Amino acid sequence: MSASPLMPVYSPSPADFTEGRGMEVFTRDGTRYLDFIAGIATNALGHCHPKLVAALTEQAGKIWHMSNMYQTGLQRELAQKYVDATFADVVFFANSGTEAIEACLKLTRKYHSANGNPHKIDILGFEGAFHGRSYGAINAAANPKYLEGFGPALPGYQQLPWGDHEALKAAITDTTAGIIIEPVQGEGGVRALPVECLHGLRALCDEAGILLIFDEVQSGASRTGKLFAHQWSGITPDVMAAAKGIGGGFPMGACLATEKAASGMKVGVHGSTFGGNPLAMAVGNAVFDEISTPEFLQHVNDMANHLGQALEGLKDRHPGVVIDVRGKGLLRGIGLNQDPLPLRKKCFDRGLLVGNAGGNVLRLAPPLIVDQEHISEAIGVIDAVLGEAAAQAHAA
Ligand SMILES: *Cc1c(COP(=O)(O)O)cnc(C)c1O
């Protein structure tokens, strides 16, 4: 018999976390940790934000679930907020990032078939991408590690080198339907796509008459100091997936699209039992109202500057361990010359929660309510851990 009744697809830390307040979380025995990963960029407003607790508990006493056969008004309200704040004309609500991606992929193929081009089915993605764990999502990202053992890869997906404009241009054919990309790659190594590349992508898609799909599941929800990361560039996608932070910790995803891109999405074409359910929508509305104000975005940008400078300082102090610092806003990575996992563990032992990402990267994605003192505390811990790693390398 195995030791745990859980399917062993994760390797979580041994202690149970039972409470969270703002930037801090506590295990059952009361041990405190400073949270610099926020459930992987998900608890945008930290833990148990009073406005989110109020929104959720108030809604819990009203109505929980109705199915999309009926309206509650809450979906329309939240969709209108995202429409007013972005390129999108319409929104479909899902429960997770991978479901939002699934909707984006289906919408893209449907757009072409509904417009007389059913042969346009190919979606071009990029090396290092992560779009979630559904069949569509693992095929769109085409990471061999996540496809292995799940039978033949689905037709209609191709993976290209990251940041190679010429290779991408050459890969676009008459059967191409769209391009999917994260404006800031999360899992793949916290790599921010240069603004010029976003402009290049838009131009390529316009020329070829194909859809540009942004995966802002991790980079959205004000994480980079704009509501969505692509808004730094001035160009917009045709379709976009959002999730993680937009629910502030409550499961929720969204597929946002222009009216034109969504022209094939008619009654019965797509759906979800729980997508847009009243509990998620009540929290989603409360999250949006907090994270979208100019003052909040200013705070994120201020904190991003502090964090960015502090990370540059770490790089200067530990040249033997830190290769580079990357990312954007409050989604940051420290590129290391070694496996980040032992360092992540050492941070944990010193009371700091951080993540890791592909390519030997330590990932930082604190709740957006982080302040300067939290940043100093976290940097102090990472500084000490990097110092130990350097000393070990020296001794070896
Ligand atoms: C987390 C993530 C997803 C998948 O979201 P789930 O809610 O885990 O399904 C998709 N894309 C990106 C960029 C992500 O970071």
Q: Which tens digit of pLDDT belongs to each residue from 4-47?
A: 899 999 999 889 999 999 999 999 999 999 999 999 999 999 99
Residue 132 CA, closest ligand 1 atom number? 4
Taking CA atoms only, the protein residue closest to ligand 1 atom 6 is: 97
Task: Determine the angle formed by the axes of helices 294-317 and 372-395, rounding to 10 degrees.
Answer: 20
Name the DSSP letter for residue 17.
Answer: E
What distance in angstroms lies between residue 138's CA and the mean position of ligand 1's atoms? 11
Query: Please, which residues have CB within 8 angstroms of residue 125's CB and are 6 or more apart in sequence?
Result: 131, 140, 141, 142, 157, 158, 159, 160, 179, 180, 181
Residue 251 CA, closest ligand 1 atom number? 7
Establish whether residue 130 lines the binding site of ligand 1, counting it when its CB lies within 6 angstroms of any ligand atom: yes
Task: Determine the angle formed by the axes of helices 278-291 and 74-85, rounding to 10 degrees.
Answer: 30
3-state secondary structure 196-211: HHHHHHHHHHHHHCCE
pLDDT at residue 389 tops 70:
yes
What distance in angstroms lies between residue 146's CA and the mean position of ligand 1's atoms? 13
Q: Pairing state of beta strands 32-35 and 17-21?
A: unpaired
CA dist 4 and 317 (Å) reads 42
Percent of the chain with pLDDT over 90: 94
What distance in angstroms lies between residue 390's CA and the mean position of ligand 1's atoms? 33
**Tell me: the pLDDT tens digits for 103-140?**
999 999 999 999 999 999 999 999 999 999 999 999 99
Q: Provide the pLDDT confidence category of residue 304 given band limits of 50, 70 and 90.
A: very high
Q: Among 170, 169, 171, which Cα is nearest to 159's?
A: 171
Predicted local distance difference test score (pLDDT) of residue 174: 98
Per the model's pLDDT, the better-predicted residue between 359 and 88 turns out to be 88
Q: Provide the pLDDT confidence category of residue 394 given band limits of 50, 70 and 90.
A: confident
Contact 176, 208 (CB under 8 A): yes
CA–CA distance from 2 to each of 10, 15, 119, 202 (Å)? 14, 18, 48, 51
Establish whether residue 132 lines the binding site of ligand 1, counting it when its CB lies within 6 angstroms of any ligand atom: yes
**Tell me: the pLDDT tens digits for 188-226?**
999 999 999 999 999 999 999 999 999 999 999 999 999
- Strands (E) across the chain are located at 17-21, 24-27, 32-35, 90-94, 122-126, 157-160, 176-181, 184-185, 191-192, 211-215, 239-242, 253-257, 322-328, 331-336, 352-353, 355-357, 361-364
**Tell me: the pLDDT tens digits for 73-90?**
999 999 999 999 999 999
In terms of pTM, does the model score above 0.95?
yes
Q: Between the CA atoms of 69, 114, 181 and 341, what dihedral angle is there, to the nearest 10 degrees?
A: 50
Establish whether residue 186 lines the binding site of ligand 1, counting it when its CB lies within 6 angstroms of any ligand atom: yes
Residue 187 CA, closest ligand 1 atom number? 15
What distance in angstroms lies between residue 70's CA and the mean position of ligand 1's atoms? 28
Establish whether residue 243 lines the binding site of ligand 1, counting it when its CB lies within 6 angstroms of any ligand atom: yes
What distance in angstroms lies between residue 74's CA and the mean position of ligand 1's atoms? 24
Contact 327, 193 (CB under 8 A): no
Establish whether residue 96 lines the binding site of ligand 1, counting it when its CB lies within 6 angstroms of any ligand atom: yes
**Across the chain, what does the average pLDDT equal?**
96
Query: What would the DSSP string read from start to end of 218-230?
Result: TTTTTTTSSSSGG
Average pLDDT over residues 362-376: 98
267, burial (CB in 10 Å: exposed 0-12, middle 13-18, buried 19+): exposed
Q: Among 253, 193, 196, 199, which Cα is nearest to 221's?
A: 253
Produce one character per residue of 303-325: b if its CB has 16 or more CB atoms within 10 Å, e if not.
Answer: bbebbbebbeebbeebeebbbeb
Q: Which amino acid belongs to residue 98?
A: T
Predicted local distance difference test score (pLDDT) of residue 2: 61
Establish whether residue 95 lines the binding site of ligand 1, counting it when its CB lies within 6 angstroms of any ligand atom: no
Establish whether residue 217 lines the binding site of ligand 1, counting it when its CB lies within 6 angstroms of any ligand atom: yes
Question: Can you tell me which residue has the tokens 């939240």?
Answer: 78
Establish whether residue 218 lines the binding site of ligand 1, counting it when its CB lies within 6 angstroms of any ligand atom: yes
Domain annotation for the chain: domains and CATH numbers: 17-48+294-395 (3.90.1150.10), 51-291 (3.40.640.10)
What distance in angstroms lies between residue 217's CA and the mean position of ligand 1's atoms? 6
Per the model's pLDDT, the better-predicted residue between 144 and 237 turns out to be 237
What distance in angstroms lies between residue 8's CA and the mean position of ligand 1's atoms? 20
What distance in angstroms lies between residue 340's CA and the mean position of ligand 1's atoms? 21
What distance in angstroms lies between residue 139's CA and the mean position of ligand 1's atoms? 14
Query: Please, which residues have CB within 8 angstroms of residue 64's CB and are 6 or more apart in sequence?
Result: 277, 278, 279
Establish whether residue 191 lines the binding site of ligand 1, counting it when its CB lies within 6 angstroms of any ligand atom: no
Contact 137, 102 (CB under 8 A): yes
